[in-house]
């Protein structure tokens, strides 16, 4: 089943207690595609500047990722810089230069308009609505967002939420979106906005899935070393949506497994900077870690 992802492509400068990289490839679409492409072909819509090194995309093209929707504009690619603390849950944004991404207007090639599984990565909700208006009849729409849009474009965001099947956000965003301090009340309020299912990410504490009044809790995979958390959330989404596209049916059992696969792929991402760990990753390694996930959560 075809997957469409619309979001950012960037050069990241990241510093953690384990080192530093400058102008490493990043952005939501690349992390998502690195994971989702293990399961299904992926169509990418995004924008890069004339300075972007296209050879960085070669491993994704070999995995069936299509870049006909990638626009190359005159100017520099979106750049972001961040420094993580010893507690990797905390980071400081050092700079954000939108560059060509500031003028991003998603335009879907004709072949992309029939994509069945859609991931609307973290971009302006008005652009997300525009993407939805260009699609024919998607089977599943999965949405991501961030605090900036919750506070700045709430009305448009709520409209996108109402048109989405699954909404992925973290616990902090859930509280801000609803004004509820209690997470369960926040979840109830978000589901009332329209999505069929909700995934609430809790960082190193895993993720929570809610679907048809059923709950599923999954821990983060235990790791001794986390080198770079950048892109973990988008990698989770890639594994999550990728598994669902391969499974075909939206039911609680498949959603549970999708959470585990998303968490598994994210656990590989954080083992190295950028998506270095995902480049040489094999399906056998993924399945082996999924089996270990089953073992540590079974009782």
- The string of pLDDT tens digits covering residues 176-227 is 999 999 999 999 999 999 999 999 998 778 899 999 999 999 999 999 889 9
Residue 84 has a pLDDT of 94
Instruction: Summarize pLDDT for 251-277 with one digit per residue, the tens.
Output: 999 999 999 999 999 999 999 999 999
Please, what is the Cα angle at 147 between 222 and 255, to 5 degrees? 45
Residue 280 has a pLDDT of 92
| Mean pLDDT in residue range 90-100 | 93
Taking CA atoms, 143 is separated from 26, 150, 294, in Å, by: 19, 13, 27
Residue 208 has a pLDDT of 95
Residue 230 has a pLDDT of 94
Residue 148 has a pLDDT of 85
Residue 243 has a pLDDT of 97
Instruction: Summarize pLDDT for 55-77 with one digit per residue, the tens.
Output: 999 999 999 999 999 999 999 99
Could you tell me the CATH superfamily of domain 3-297?
A: Ribokinase (3.40.1190.20)
Residue 29 has a pLDDT of 96
Residue 203 has a pLDDT of 78
pLDDT at 1 exceeding the cut of 80: no
| Mean pLDDT in residue range 240-248 | 95
Residue 292 neighbours by CB under 8 Å, 6+ apart: 221
pLDDT at 159 exceeding the cut of 80: yes
Confidence of residue 89 (pLDDT cuts 50, 70, 90): confident
Sign of the dihedral through C-alpha 176, 182, 187, 190: negative
Residue 255 has a pLDDT of 97
Instruction: Summarize pLDDT for 126-141 with one digit per residue, the tens.
Output: 999 999 999 999 999 9
- Angstrom distance (rounded) from CA 142 to CA 197: 9
Sole residue written with tokens 């080198």: 227
Residue 237 has a pLDDT of 97
| % of the chain surpassing 70 pLDDT | 100
Q: Mean pLDDT in the chain?
A: 94
Residue 268 has a pLDDT of 97
Instruction: Summarize pLDDT for 229-239 with one digit per residue, the tens.
Output: 999 999 999 99
């Amino acid at each position: 089943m075809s997957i469409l992802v619309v979001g950012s492509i960037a050069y990241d400068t990241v510093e953690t207690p384990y080192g530093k990289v400058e102008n490493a490839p990043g952005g939501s679409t690349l992390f998502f595609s690195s994971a989702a492409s293990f399961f299904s072909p992926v169509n990418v819509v995004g924008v890069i500047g004339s300075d972007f090194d296209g050879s960085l995309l070669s491993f994704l093209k070999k995995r069936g990722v299509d870049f006909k929707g990638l626009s190359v504009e005159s100017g520099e690619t979106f750049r972001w810089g961040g420094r993580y603390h010893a507690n990797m849950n905390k980071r400081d944004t050092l700079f954000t230069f939108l560059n060509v991404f500031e003028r991003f207007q998603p335009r879907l090639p004709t072949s992309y308009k029939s994509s069945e599984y859609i991931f609307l990565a973290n971009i302006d909700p008005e652009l997300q609505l525009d993407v939805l208006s260009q699609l024919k009849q998607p089977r599943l729409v999965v949405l991501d967002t961030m605090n900036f849009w919750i506070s700045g474009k709430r009305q448009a965001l709520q409209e996108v939420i109402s048109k989405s099947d699954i909404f992925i956000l973290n616990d902090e965003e859930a509280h801000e979106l609803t004004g509820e301090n209690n997470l369960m009340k926040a979840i109830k309020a978000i589901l009332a906005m329209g999505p069929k299912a909700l995934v609430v990410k809790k960082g190193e504490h895993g993720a929570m899935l809610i679907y048809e009044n059923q709950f599923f809790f999954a821990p983060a995979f235990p790791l001794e070393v986390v080198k770079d958390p950048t892109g973990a959330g988008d990698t989770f989404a890639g594994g999550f949506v990728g598994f669902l596209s391969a499974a075909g049916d939206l039911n609680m059992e498949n959603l549970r497994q999708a959470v585990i696969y998303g968490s598994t792929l994210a656990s590989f991402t954080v083992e190295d900077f950028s998506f270095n760990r995902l480049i040489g990753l094999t399906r056998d390694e993924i399945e082996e870690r999924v089996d270990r996930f089953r073992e540590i959560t079974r009782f």
